[in-house]
Amino acid sequence: MRLGILGSGSGSNMQALLDAIDDGSLDAEIALVLSDKPDAYILERAAKAGLPTGVIDCRGFKTKFPEEAQAETAAALKAAGVELVCLAGFMRLVKAPLLEVFPDRILNIHPSLLPAFPGLEAWKQALDAGASEAGCTVHLVDGGMDSGPILLQAKVPVLPGDSAESLHQRIQVEEHRIYPEAVRRLAENL
């Protein structure tokens, strides 16, 4: 399975996928890594691993993912032979035409037990709400915000004295465990 990765940050989830490929637990290869931020560490991490990279031109928009940029992203992924797109901390809403080019083939990892706490900084939302547990969810991407069909989840208890940072770190441990597993399961069924 040829994977395309879209990320905006450090790329720790991309690294988890790469580690699973390297240790043989995920039969896949990363064909292309794209970021909407030219200085995102995910691009440096990917380049160090010898992976092809590129920058998505979002036409100066801070959060919007313009249709033209989505069409260019879809074309670049197709040209690289990508079969499954994995969002790894990609902070823009994916819509058409990207969804049309990769129907039911775009995954996201989100740091909450969806449908609870969609959107930004879900671990802080969980703390602010007084939740007793948090976690992470791998889901298929649809046109909404963190609203697609759920594939896999992992729970993390909220501990007394947790800070947003400590909770987020524990959630990331589970993200790195379940994302490769969800990709493997989906790839087996495609």
Is residue 110 flagged as an active site residue? yes
| Domain ranges across the chain | 2-119+138-155+176-189
Give the lowest-confidence range in 30-34, 94-98, 182-186.
Answer: 94-98
Q: Tell me the pTM.
A: 0.96
Laid out side by side, the sheet with 29-35 consists of 53-55, 29-35, 2-7, 84-88, 106-110, 133-140, 150-157
Query: 72-110: per-residue pLDDT in tens?
Result: 999 999 999 999 999 999 999 999 889 999 999 999 999
The pLDDT tens digits for 52-64 are 999 999 999 999 9
Q: How confident is the model at residue 190 (pLDDT cuts 50, 70, 90)?
A: confident
User: For the domain 2-119+138-155+176-189, what is the CATH code?
Assistant: 3.40.50.170
Query: Among 110, 139, 168, 176, which one carries the catalytic annotation?
Result: 110
CA 41 remoteness from chain centre: 15
Q: Tell me the CA end-to-end span of the chain in Å, nearest whole number.
A: 9
Cis peptide before 66 (omega within 30 of 0): no
Mean pLDDT for 10-25 is: 97
